[in-house]
């Protein structure tokens, strides 16, 4: 959608300027999509738990989880916004992926919003055509081999070519709603292990999937499968 809107500008403006404008436009569109469904306070009751989260309490939770220096507060607040605004979630877990950080950072967080604790903070790889150490290009297009941003809800698991994997449904129109068709899933990978990072200076890259270390992939997947929220920022 945005790619089409900027296609003709490549013939009129420097390519670097066009890429910057595309990036800004994508960020603005994502902000509009999130704010369109935002609520000030939401109480959600599912599967025996009740989660009450107010935006006013986001900073308090951020401090309680000791996320300073690990996850930018603005990204955390955006993710909480998405979590409390989303109907249909079945679990109190919020996964935050901050693709604005390099792959050498532990930029994958799983937070238990009910018990107010960080369950996982680990590495995650991005798509091979999104960038090298940093991901700078994102896509919703089939075969782009780029990472998608936005809000996802987790679905069922299966055993595939990448081993035990978790299906994702993208909920941000035009941003990630082609995730199922693109086979964007959470899976494990040796190239997402810390040992690979130490040997290569950065993680390896996927074909667009958020790939986590093989050593903990099953535990992560079994925790967040079947209806939890993922927010991917970039």
Q: What is 202-231 written as a DSSP string?
A: S---BSSS-EEEHHHHHHHHHHHTTT-EEE
pLDDT at 87: 86
Residue found under tokens 């996927």: 206
The conformation of residue 81, written as its DSSP 8-state character, comes to H
Of the candidates 79, 118, 56, 6, the residue with the CA atom closest to the CA atom of residue 231: 79
Distance CA 91, CA 119 (A): 14
Distance CA 202, CA 224 (A): 26
pLDDT at 150: 97
pLDDT at 8: 44
Within the chain, which residues score under 50 in pLDDT? 1-11, 18, 32-52
Of the candidates 139, 146, 131, 100, the residue with the CA atom closest to the CA atom of residue 4: 139
pLDDT at 88: 84
The conformation of residue 72, written as its DSSP 8-state character, comes to -
Domain 90-233, CATH among 1.10.1750.10, 3.40.228.10, 3.30.530.20, 2.40.440.10: 2.40.440.10
Question: Between helices 73-85 and 15-35, what is the axis angle to 10°?
Answer: 50
pLDDT at 51: 47
């Amino acid at each position: 959608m945005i790619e089409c809107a900027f296609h003709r500008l490549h013939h009129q403006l420097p390519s670097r300027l066009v890429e910057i404008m595309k990036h800004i436009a994508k960020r603005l569109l994502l902000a509009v999509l999130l704010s369109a469904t935002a609520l000030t306070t939401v109480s959600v009751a599912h599967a025996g738990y009740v989660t009450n989260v107010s935006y006013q309490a986001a900073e308090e939770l951020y401090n309680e989880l000791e996320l300073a220096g690990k996850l930018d507060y603005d990204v955390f607040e955006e993710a909480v916004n998405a979590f409390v605004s989303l109907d249909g979630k079945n679990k109190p877990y919020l996964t935050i992926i901050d693709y604005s950080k390099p792959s050498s950072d532990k930029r994958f967080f799983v937070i238990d919003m009910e018990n107010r604790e960080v369950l996982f903070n680990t590495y995650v790889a991005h798509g091979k055509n999104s960038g090298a150490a940093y991901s700078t290009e994102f896509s919703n297009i089939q075969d782009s081999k780029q990472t998608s941003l936005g809000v996802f809800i987790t679905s069922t698991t299966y055993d595939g070519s990448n081993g035990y994997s978790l299906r994702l449904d993208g909920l941000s129109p035009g941003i990630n709603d082609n995730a199922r068709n693109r086979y964007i899933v959470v899976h494990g990978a040796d190239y997402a292990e810390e040992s690979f990072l130490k040997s290569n200076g950065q993680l390896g890259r996927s074909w667009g999937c958020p790939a986590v270390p093989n050593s903990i992939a099953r535990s992560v997947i079994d925790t967040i499968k079947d209806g939890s929220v993922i927010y991917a920022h970039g």
